Amino acid sequence: MKYLVTGATGFIGRFLIERLLERRNATVYVLMRRTSADRFAALQQRMNVSEERLAPVWGDITREGVIDDAARAHLAGQIDHVFHLAAVYDMDMSDAQADRVNNQGTAHIVALANTLANESGRKPCFHHVSSVAVAGADYEGVFSDRMFDEGQTVTHPYYRTKFQSEAVVREQAAVPWRIYRPGMVVGHSETGAMDKVDGPYYFFRTIKRVRDHVPKWLPLLGIEGGQMPVAPVDYVVDAMVHIAHKRNQDNRAFFLIQDDPPTAGEMLRIFLRAAHGPDIVRNLPTHEWPASIEHQVKRLASRLPMAGWLERRVSKALGVPLSILGYVNNRAVFDDVNTRAALAGSGIHCPRLEDYAETLWRYWELHMDCDIDVPEELTRRIRGKVVVITGASSGIGFMTSKKLARAGAKVCMVARTPSKLEETRAIVERIGGEAYAYPCDLNKMEAIDACTKQILADHHHVDILINNAGHSIRRSVFESLNRFHDYERTMQLNYFGAIRMIFNFLPSMAKRRSGHIINISSIGCLTNVPRFSAYVASKSALDAFSRCLSPEVGSRNIDLTTIYMPLVRTPMIAPTKLYDYVPTLTPEQAGDMVVSAVLEKPKRIASPLGTTAQVSYALWPKVNDFVLHKAFHMFPSSKASRGYAARREADEKPNIPGRVLAALLPGPYW
């Protein structure tokens, strides 16, 4: 089977190429401009195939004829399927740009497909990737994939050219055709992979701001809005490939969307939950207004003085194009009747957004949230310095790595899992930082010795060591009587691993008479909350070691800083569902605390609550014990420690007094 694909290096295109190459004896020709040869090389490297299976065809869809005569003669009678994905999808595109690529480009590639039939009548099947946008932004009622020209309004360049390019295929194709209409295409449902801010991703920064500044326990109100026809890229591609190779499906269109899609309000609620933000407890209905009234309100608003300027300001503040904001109250209900029939019995179905939203959010926050703010003073202070960060592949360590690398430091990222570490190192480099990956299991002394030796061999010295890697166990002493190993492994990583790193870098710091050691400790060392005896003891040991070391190295210009970190929303606390209901810092806020330590070199950094708790324990220890005893009974033990993992997740929710206490005293590991 031989294929010709346009737009192969785009987001959907890359996944489509991968699926096509999985088919037996498949050869894929990729239409590329000469100026994009490097993109083809990257695609070929990613697919790990030779040019015999993945071959470039040099051409340009905006040019009449598309390819030269020699290439056309080579492909004639050889191609079984033409997949046309190349298009401009930019909600701020101009009409001229949309017409040139989306309309004229489609007409040119349809004409090319028409010429690829051979004399015996063998014709390729033309597969055109359109969009639900063919229904326009204001269509009201059911719009099925058996419908096309229903008199809908398509004024925006994107909606208009999606409609018109479909018409080109229907009217000008002399070969069999099939049209695919994906909804809002989001990242891969299993990996979260995505390459651009689009659709619901426009709202992610706003969601992040809400999560970071609004208490999680505070109930929010939203608006219901219209259906959001969402679909992950893996479903879109799997459905396309299956339908493309199924008999008796010619000259039909297929919506590629989730069954019963979420409304705009439901989608916002789903992503707020995925981000561990506050919950929307009620959405105000917006469909009760007749469409005519809505249109009149929009028309009156557009006539207000400076209406356009105000709309642009709102759009800029939210980071969302006006056309996306206008689609929030979409009144179309999409029916994928053709798709359901074509996929029947295939096992291919579109997962529900709530089942993979957290995967999308994690990928966005890790790979796409590249807006890293660093103070100018940090750049002046740290540029060119060598910084070692343990536990650097996630959470606090990863965010700190991004901030210090953005400021110009040479960041040596240390973590246990090589693949994850390399992935995060590449992300740091993508935002303009200089980073190096050093895989190391900090539970093993010989591994630490080898890692530190390699770092010194590569960089000759270390200016700043940030001991961030750690392991936490939430289990009461009576639940740990037969688990002494929990204490041993916690001490091994949190204490012995950290001081081994210090021991190995300390001589070179002393020789240069310069160095800074930052230990990420815990607010638990100050608050002494129950259930954390193993964790707090290991962190307190490191704290005591640092206090003893500090006067020994003061004359050598080596500073030590301990950060008594409050509860932070990191992978370390993710298994404890209780923490979904108590206030936490974000990794970015925690990273800012580390930046403060780098800049100011204080002896310690603690939250006001942590300092108050330490003073209170020194003055009124029995009062503290009484309060913590009450708190111990307010918060349930984990499912694992209670020994019956089949319990419902709801069993780990704190009771009302517990939630009130956590809100009044934010930060401790309850």
Active-site residues, by number, are 535
| Cα–Cα distance list, 256 to 81, 125, 131, 243, 342 (Å) | 19, 19, 9, 11, 11
Over the range 556-566, which residues count as b (16 or more CB within 10 Å of their CB) and which as e? eebbbbbbbbb
Q: Kindly state the tokens that stand for 195.
A: 């390459």
CB 258 within 8 A of CB 352: yes
At 53, give phi and psi (nearest 5°).
-110, -30
What one-character-per-residue DSSP string does 138-174 give? S--EEEETT---SS----SHHHHHHHHHHHHHHHH-S
**What is the rounded distance in angstroms from the CA atom of residue 232 to the CA atom of residue 200?**
12
**What is the rounded distance in angstroms from the CA atom of residue 655 to the CA atom of residue 652?**
9
Question: Is 310 strand, coil or helix?
Answer: helix
CB 447 within 8 A of CB 441: yes
**What is the rounded distance in angstroms from the CA atom of residue 255 to the CA atom of residue 179?**
9
**What is the rounded distance in angstroms from the CA atom of residue 192 to the CA atom of residue 204?**
14
Identify the sign of the CA torsion 512, 513, 514, 517: positive
Question: Is 44 strand, coil or helix?
Answer: helix
* Alpha helix stretches (DSSP H) within 364-417: 376-382, 395-406
**What is the rounded distance in angstroms from the CA atom of residue 200 to the CA atom of residue 192?**
13
* Termini Cα distance of the chain: 60
Residue type, 194: M
**What is the rounded distance in angstroms from the CA atom of residue 453 to the CA atom of residue 653?**
46
Q: Give me the residues paired with residue 181 across strands.
A: 255
Q: Kindly state the tokens that stand for 584.
A: 């936490």
* Residue of 562, 541, 530, 553 lying closest to 626 (CA atoms): 530
3-state helix, strand, coil in the chain (%, to 5): 50, 15, 35
3 state SS for 226-245: CECCEEEHHHHHHHHHHHHC
Q: What is the DSSP secondary structure assignment for residue 496, as one 8-state letter? A: I
Residue matched to tokens 């651009």: 196
Residue matched to tokens 């053709």: 338
CB 22 within 8 A of CB 32: no
What one-character-per-residue DSSP string does 113-128 give? HHHT--TT---PEEEE
**What is the rounded distance in angstroms from the CA atom of residue 501 to the CA atom of residue 117?**
68
